[in-house]
């Protein structure tokens, strides 16, 4: 049975049969792929603890008929700050869901791998707001890398530049997912499903598209603008996917319940896992 090596990140795992799991990996060399981890539901399994969600490792895989088989795992990093924190785990789950649904299987995108790894690095010890900004940075970065970069510096209808003014008619802008970007007041009528927003939110979106994740996480924005930004990014991703994302709802419930990174520490997050 031919074998090959890959550096990867565990995105999610699912039960298969009585003792096995299928593991979804994002690999540097081969993109997103699924493989079987034999016997990892048994207490005696040596692999079980090495294929936890968000583990960064080097994998030895054997070619199989339908799915390849994970033969060996050398762990590089486990991100305990994410795995033991409900909210950070939820944001990491958001990242995993976007990758799993946006990236075609075995479509090599080394930059996408780098984006996800950098995001997990920031999420490891991020505060609640920093975790959100890092996840949004990742969603925009992945969309941009895969050819779905939104236009947020000018109107996609007429080309008018995004204004700096934050009040008056200049504030009446929007984001049209169907057009892939910002629309000014004059063009809003042609996009009834556009999300109403202000230039400041669009400018923040543009900053995230240019910034490093560490800088994005340190960005301070008013709560209302941050909510609008999250809604804008979600709408853009869902339009490209032609499907709803599940993780934003989970994050919303956690934040509504007052779950913070300090309160949830040690709670034992297993985002991305289905047993």
pLDDT of residue 79: 97
**Percentage of residues in the chain having pLDDT higher than 70:** 91
| Tens-place pLDDT, residues 20-56 | 999 999 999 999 999 999 999 888 888 899 999 999 9
The pLDDT-based confidence of 126 (bands split at 50, 70, 90) is: very high
Q: Average pLDDT in the 197-221 region? A: 95
Give me the pLDDT at residue 67, please.
Answer: 92
- Per-residue pLDDT tens digits for 10-20: 999 999 888 99
Once rounded to an integer, what is the mean pLDDT over residues 118-143?
97
* Rounded Cα distance, 274 and 271, in Å: 8
At 65 the pLDDT is 85
Domain ranges of the chain: 3-77, 80-257
Mean predicted lDDT score pLDDT of the chain = 91
Phi, psi of 58 (to 5 degrees): -105, 130
* Range list of H helices, 58-180: 80-83, 86-102, 110-123, 128-145
Q: What is the pLDDT of residue 43?
A: 83
Asked if residue 206 has pLDDT above 80, the reply is: yes
Q: Looking at the predicted structure, is the pLDDT value of residue 138 above 80?
A: yes
pLDDT at residue 6, as a whole number: 98
Q: How many CA atoms lie within 13 A of 167 on its CB side?
A: 0
CA distance 255 to 260: 7
Question: Is the per-residue pLDDT at 78 higher than 70?
Answer: yes
pLDDT value for 258: 81
Q: Kindly state the average pLDDT of the residues 207-229.
A: 94
Name 95's bridge partners: none
Q: For residue range 91-103, list pLDDT tens digits in order.
A: 999 999 999 999 9
167 confidence band (pLDDT: 50, 70, 90)? low
Q: How far is CA 81 from the centre of its chain?
A: 17
Contacts of 247 (CB under 8 A, 6+ apart): 90, 93, 94, 97
Q: Which of 157, 162, 158, 195 is nearest to 176 (CA)?
A: 195
Helix axes 199-210, 128-145, angle to 10 degrees: 70
Q: Say whether pLDDT at 200 is over 80.
A: yes
Q: What CA–CA distance (Å, rounded) separates 50 from 23?
A: 11
The DSSP code for 194 is: P
Query: With pLDDT > 90 as the criterion, what percentage of the chain qualifies?
Result: 81
The residue among 146 and 259 whose pLDDT is bigger is: 146
Give residue 214's pLDDT.
Answer: 95
Query: Which pLDDT tens digit goes with each residue over 234-268?
Result: 999 999 999 999 999 999 999 998 865 544 544 43
Residue among 88, 87, 127, 83 nearest 259 (CA): 87
Pick the CATH number of 80-257 from 3.40.1080.10, 3.40.50.970, 1.20.1440.120, 3.40.50.720: 1.20.1440.120
Handedness of CA 118, 120, 122, 128 (dihedral sign): positive
User: Does domain 3-77 bear CATH number 2.40.50.140?
Assistant: yes
């Amino acid at each position: 049975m031919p074998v090959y090596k890959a550096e990867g990140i565990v995105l999610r795992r699912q039960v298969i049969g009585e003792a096995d799991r299928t593991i979804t990996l994002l690999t540097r060399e081969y993109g997103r792929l699924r493989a079987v981890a034999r016997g990892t539901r048994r207490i005696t399994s040596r692999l079980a603890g090495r294929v936890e969600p968000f583990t960064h490792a080097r994998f030895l895989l054997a070619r199989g008929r339908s799915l390849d088989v994970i033969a060996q795992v050398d762990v590089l990093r486990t991100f305990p700050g994410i795995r033991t924190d409900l909210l950070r785990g939820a944001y990491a789950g958001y990242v995993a869901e976007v990758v799993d649904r946006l990236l075609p299987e075995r479509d090599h995108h080394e930059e996408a791998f780098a984006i996800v790894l950098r995001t997990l690095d920031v999420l490891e010890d991020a505060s609640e707001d920093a975790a959100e900004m890092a996840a949004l940075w990742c969603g925009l970065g992945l969309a941009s890398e895969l050819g779905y970069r939104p236009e947020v510096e000018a109107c996609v209808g007429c080309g008018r530049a995004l204004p700096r003014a934050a009040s008056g008619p200049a504030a009446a802008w929007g984001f049209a997912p169907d057009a892939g970007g910002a629309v000014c007041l004059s063009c809003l009528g042609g996009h009834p499903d556009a999300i109403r927003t202000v230039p400041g939110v669009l400018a923040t979106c543009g900053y995230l598209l240019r910034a490093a994740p560490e800088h994005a996480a340190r960005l301070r924005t008013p709560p209302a603008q941050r909510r609008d930004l999250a809604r804008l990014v979600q709408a853009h991703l869902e339009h490209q996917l032609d499907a709803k994302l599940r993780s934003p709802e989970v994050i919303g419930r956690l934040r509504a319940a007052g779950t913070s990174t300090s309160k949830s520490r040690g709670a034992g997050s297993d985002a991305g896992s289905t047993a």
